Amino acid sequence: MLKYSVGLDVSSKDIHACISAIDAEQKVTVISSKVINNTPKGFEILITWIEKTESRKSFH
């Protein structure tokens, strides 16, 4: 079984985001990470980044 995890570290200035895959042996592999400004525009960028990462063939 493969699971996915999204981690967010939010501060007043920025958001550190990470998408990881977790395999059956509980090995965690980082798929993508990004630092985004903590602004309304930053949230738009975050959503777009998640959608693009999700649609990548290696993510599925």
What range defines the domain where residue 36 resides? 3-59
Model confidence pLDDT, tens digit, residues 12-56: 999 999 999 999 999 999 999 999 999 999 999 999 998 888 776
Mapping DSSP to helix (H, G, I), strand (E, B) and coil, where does residue 46 land? helix
Structure tokens at 44: 């738009």
Task: CATH number of the domain at 44, please.
Answer: 3.30.420.40
Q: Are 31 and 21 in contact (CB under 8 A)?
A: yes
pTM, two decimals, is: 0.77
Residue-level pLDDT at 7:
94
Q: How many domains does the chain have?
A: 1
Tell me, rounded to whole angstroms, the distance of Cα 24 from its chain centroid.
20
Q: Are 20 and 4 in contact (CB under 8 A)?
A: yes
**Of residues 52 and 11, more confidently modeled:** 11
